[in-house]
Structure 1
Amino acid sequence: MNVFACVACAQVDFPRRLLCPSCGRDEFVEVDAAQGSVEDVTTLHHRAGKAGGDIAYIATVLTHAGPRVIVRLERLLAPGAVVSLRLESDGAIVGFSD
């Protein structure tokens, strides 16, 4: 998974912006953000469009590259846990611990 750093001022954001919110430039480089730390977790007991009692865990993760991302956890993890991140083909970000 990648985040985006402004070439001019090094501001790192996710998702990619058209213009840097810090300096207004429009040139970015991709920065690896394959890991991060769980900050907060929410348990979803009912998901729209899903039948049955599927439980999903959604977390805010502070990536080691800087930006925070919202991810789906493969299992319940406590705040502070280090997770690896991957981008799924549908655009969802999944966090998992090794």
Structure 2
Amino acid sequence: MIRHLVLFKLNEGVERDDPRVVEGVEAFRALGGLIEELRFWECGWNLSDRPIAYDFAINSAVDDADALKRYLEHPAHQAGVALWREFATWVIADYEF
């Protein structure tokens, strides 16, 4: 199995209630029920107020590298990424477990 982690940082001046952010969160929350390659899916807002903290996180799992590739290329995932690209940056980690 491969764990796919993503941490998002909202751009300066962008707030959680910004309509673009709300749409982006809804798009990502829906992915768990849309993409068959996903074996585990959760996402949510960070609760920490530490300066080094990111704002939003995705924690997911797929069977293998081929499934990860299919997930990343899935149209629903690509649509969500396009939304987030407008108001955030992110870092990822993919590891086997």
- What range describes the TM-score normalised by the shorter chain of this pair? under 0.3
Q: Give the number of the structure whose residues are more often strand, by fraction.
A: 1
Q: Give the number of the structure whose residues are more often helix, by fraction.
A: 2
> Normalising by structure 2, what TM-score?
0.25
Higher relative contact order structure (alpha carbons within 8 Å, sequence separation ≥ 6): 2
